[in-house]
Amino acid sequence: MTPDSDISALQTSQAQTGVCYYPEHWPEEMWAKDAANMVALGLSWVRIGEFAWSRLEPKRGQYDFGWLDRAIEILGQAGLKVILGTPTATPPRWMLKVYPDMLAVTKDGAARGFGSRRHYCFSYQPYIAECRKITQALAKRYGRNVHIAGWQIDNEYGCHDTVISYSHAARDGFRLWLTQKYSKIDALNQAWGNVFWSMDYDSFDDVELPNQTVTEPNPSHVMDFRRYSSDQVIAFNRAQAEILREHTDAALIHNYMGRITEFDHFAFGDDLDIASWDSYPMGFLEDRSDKDALWQCDFMRQGDPDFQAFHHDLYRAVGRGRWWVMEQQPGPVNWAPYNPAPLTGMVRLWSWEALAHGAEVVSYFRWRQAPFAQEQMHAGLQNPDGSPALAWDEIRQFNREINMLDWQDLQSGLAQEAPIAIVFDYASCWAWETQPQGKDFDYFRLVFEMYSALRKLGQSVDIIPPNVADFGARKLVLIPGLFTWNDNLHAAIQATKAQVIIGPRSGSKTPNFRIPKTLPPDMPELGVKVTAVESLRPDAPSGLEKGGKFQIWQDCVQVQEGASITENRMDGAAAIVTSGKLTYLAGWPDAAAAERIFRDILSQLDMSIEILSDGLRCRNLGRYKVYVNYGSQTNIIGSQTNSDIDESYSITPAGVVIIDTITSQPIL
């Protein structure tokens, strides 16, 4: 890890903006003018190079760095700080000729082909050796270049469903991984319960990958393969990070994606200095297919009001406080089912929202729209002819605004922990994909819906990893759907003064994917035992006595001595059970139930609640409150919404208002 002193130079006293640029896409004569225009627009950062392998090493072992030397020099001389990408997401065609087996393989056994990007298998060691070579060449040449202020390793691991590969290389790697984990094959048989259906193995070499079985494979087998696959992404990245560390003190970054859960980002993040993610709010609307057409239309030009914030908070945790938006959507994308233009003001709103969640840099994708190839219909900051595109004026306005505000004031609010935290666990995603036990059980959605319910009550929420050492001074911690306990988390629960809401489905397995001996939630202090579970049809939710419903999932619990039922289901079964500071939520609350339940708990904890109308959201930064309006209607903030602000203000669609709670006056 780079010593803090080296990277502190990078830490900005106020947030900045940047852009993704592809000099290799444009005639060299354009570069200087582009660089000057970037600076004139107020941008400070430029990311380059992440897909340029075929131009950097046109033939195996023959490098052409001349053009990149000149591009970096021109951009740097113009005053821009450069993030240089390693190009390993786009192996050139010659690579495939040398290594025809390097391709990832789908579940059905088909090799994924050349002609786009990310065509490699994370387990294929000769490709990793080639990645080391190009990284080494770049690191040696540019590691001490004064214009290079950061490195992006690869691009969007996991994009296009590329983490899991059923190749021979993956099979061989998995066998080795299992040998290291279990040492003896009998230990594996025992751990997986292979006596069931006569699945015992005699040797690690007999274990295949869990695809193409006749019916479902053993969940313990799948879970280990998911862990193995996640480990390969981490190892792949580490191979490059180690080389870069030898040659540079600049920050190492990766640009993660929205809703990619196939590898453990928390474990991965330990090898880097800064987390970043690529935020395409409208593209990701598709993800809310659970919402009806009316809702979809209402937010089609803004995106889901919680999706971006959720990822900002997630990646803040992954980056241990340091994170960026590496790619911000600037207009219509080319890849969503429908691609309307953002509502005027949204690019500014998304940028402000990122800053309010602590982003150090917001960087836009991309400088100029490409007139060729796959993304020719994807907006840039400039149209293909170089004229300003839709987001230009908003970015200029945003850059002016961030320079006008007294950033020190906001900074102290940014450093504070939120009073509420939700545990997010990648292994739980894998576990419940492996064994959903009901078509609609989706761990990401469960956590996201709870996060969203709290935000509608005006709360700011941190996302924390599952092996967290303690909960700090937080007042409320939520642990929904956690696959299995770990010692750190258990100790944090014991030690905390916070109210802890656990469930549904939490602690329902051992790490080996068995039902715990004492039955879920496998935590005697909770005072409940889950004796049966039910997944629910979408048309048959389960009513709650005080209003709202359980949807998708409910647990049937036996309540032990010392614990008390605080709410029942309509059918008389216990819905919420409390034992001191611990609460068990025995089902997945729908939006109405979640709002009511969290409202009650927040009131009991004396936390202020601000009911935000649809689309309005707020991030609390100490004395400042940053409001953004994702709604298609003008909304009211302040006194009329039960907030601690004395005045009322209106906020237009796509509006941003920052209120100083001491003076009750807007500072923006």
Mark the segment that binds ligand GAL (CB under 6 A) among 37-45, 136-144, 151-159, 197-205: 151-159
Secondary structure (H, E, C), 46-91 = EEECCCCHHHHCCECCECCCHHHHHHHHHHHHCCCEEEEECCCCCC
Residue closer to ligand GAL (CB basis): 238 or 259:
259
SS3 617: strand
**By C-alpha distance, which of 538, 532, 425, 422 is closest to 483?**
425
Q: Which residues are catalytic?
A: 156, 327
Residues 605-624 that bind ligand GAL (CB under 6 A): none
Nearer to ligand GAL, 95 or 333 (CB): 333
Nearer to ligand GAL, 155 or 452 (CB): 155
Q: Please report whether residue 370 would count as binding ligand GAL according to CB under 6 A.
A: no
* Cβ at position 229, least distance to ligand GAL in Å: 20
Site for ligand GAL in 256-285 (CB under 6 A): 278, 280
Residue whose entry in the numeric block shows the structure tokens 């009901």? 438
Nearer to ligand GAL, 130 or 156 (CB): 156
Shortest distance, CB of residue 295 to ligand GAL, whole angstroms?
Answer: 23
> Smallest gap, in angstroms, from Cβ of residue 159 to ligand GAL?
6
Q: Is 604 left (phi over 0), alpha (psi -120 to 50) or beta?
A: alpha
* 90/484 with CB nearer ligand GAL: 90
Taking CB under 6 A as the rule, which mask of x and - marks residues 555-594 in contact with ligand GAL? ----------------------------------------
Q: Evaluate the CA torsion angle 371, 374, 377, 379 in order and state its sign.
A: negative
Q: Give the CA angle between residues 595, 607, 468 to the nearest 5°.
A: 85
User: Nearest Cα to 26, choosing from 63, 84, 73, 67?
Assistant: 67
Only one of the segments 108-116, 153-161, 480-488, 645-653 lies at the binding site for ligand GAL (rule: CB under 6 A); that segment is 153-161
Whole-number minimum distance, CB 346 to ligand GAL, in Å? Answer: 16
Lay out the site mask for ligand GAL across 391-430 (x = CB under 6 A, - = otherwise).
Answer: ----------------------------------------
What is the side-by-side strand order in the sheet with 582-585?
Answer: 461-464, 420-423, 476-479, 499-502, 582-585, 574-579, 564-568
**Strand pairing partners for 629?**
616
Pick the binder of ligand GAL from 34, 262, 327, 425 (CB under 6 A).
327
Closer CB to ligand GAL, 331 or 589, in the complex? 331
DSSP string, 554-612: EEEEEEPTT-EEEEEBTTS-EEEEEETTEEEE-EEE-HHHHHHHHHHHHHHTT----PP
The Cα 453–Cα 107 span in angstroms is 36
Half-sphere exposure of residue 182: CA atoms within 13 angstroms, side-chain side: 22
- How many residues of this chain interact with ligand GAL, rule: CB under 6 A? 10
Q: Is 378 in the site for ligand GAL (CB under 6 A)?
A: yes
Tokens of 106: 């789908």
- CB nearer to ligand GAL: give 50 or 555: 50
Min CB(377)–ligand GAL separation in Å: 10
Q: Give whichever of 78 and 389 is closer to ligand GAL, judged by the CB atom.
A: 389
- Closest contact distance (angstroms) between CB of 334 and ligand GAL is 7
CB 460 within 8 A of CB 620: yes
CB nearer to ligand GAL: give 174 or 365.
Answer: 365
The nearer residue to ligand GAL, 116 or 531, going by C-beta atoms, is 116
Q: Which residues pair with 543 in a beta bridge?
A: 549
Instruction: DSSP letter for 470, please.
Output: -
Among 21, 22, 31, 365, binds ligand GAL (CB under 6 A): 365
DSSP state string for 140-153: HHHTT-TTEEEEE-
Report, in angstroms and rounded to the nearest whole number, the Rg of the chain calculated over CA atoms. Answer: 25
Shortest reach from residue 245's CB to ligand GAL, in Å: 24
Segment lying near ligand GAL (by CB under 6 A), choices 152-160, 408-416, 557-565, 609-617: 152-160
Binding flag, residue 333, ligand GAL (CB under 6 A) = yes
**Which residues does residue 556 pair with via DSSP β-bridges, in sequence order?**
532
Cα–Cα distance for residue pair 601/463, rounded to 1 Å: 19
Tokens of 135: 């990284």
User: Applying CB under 6 A, which part among 140-148, 154-162, 383-391, 493-501 lies near ligand GAL?
Assistant: 154-162
What is the rounded CA–CA span in Å between residue 529 and residue 560? 8
Strand 45-48 vs strand 16-20: parallel, antiparallel, or unpaired? parallel
Residue with tokens 């390693």: 86
User: Cβ closer to ligand GAL: 263 or 588?
Assistant: 263
CB of 262 to ligand GAL, least distance (A): 15
Residue 110 backbone dihedrals phi, psi, to 5 degrees: -90, 135
Nearer to ligand GAL, 146 or 373 (CB): 373
Helices first, then strands: H and E counts in the chain = 19, 25
Bridging pattern class, strands 587-589 and 549-559: antiparallel
Q: Are strands 461-464 and 564-568 parallel, antiparallel or unpaired?
A: unpaired
Binding to ligand GAL by CB under 6 A, coded x per residue (else -) over 155-194, reads xx--x-----------------------------------
Under 8 Å CB-to-CB from 68, ≥6 apart: which residues?
23, 48, 49, 52, 56, 142
Question: How near is the Cβ of 327 to ligand GAL at its closest, in Å?
Answer: 6
Q: Which amino acid is at 508?
A: S
Smallest distance, ligand GAL to C-beta of residue 499, A: 38
Q: Give the separation between CA 63 and CA 403, rounded to whole angstroms.
A: 41
Q: Can you give the binding site for ligand GAL, defined by CB under 6 A?
A: 155-156, 159, 278, 280, 327, 333, 365, 375, 378
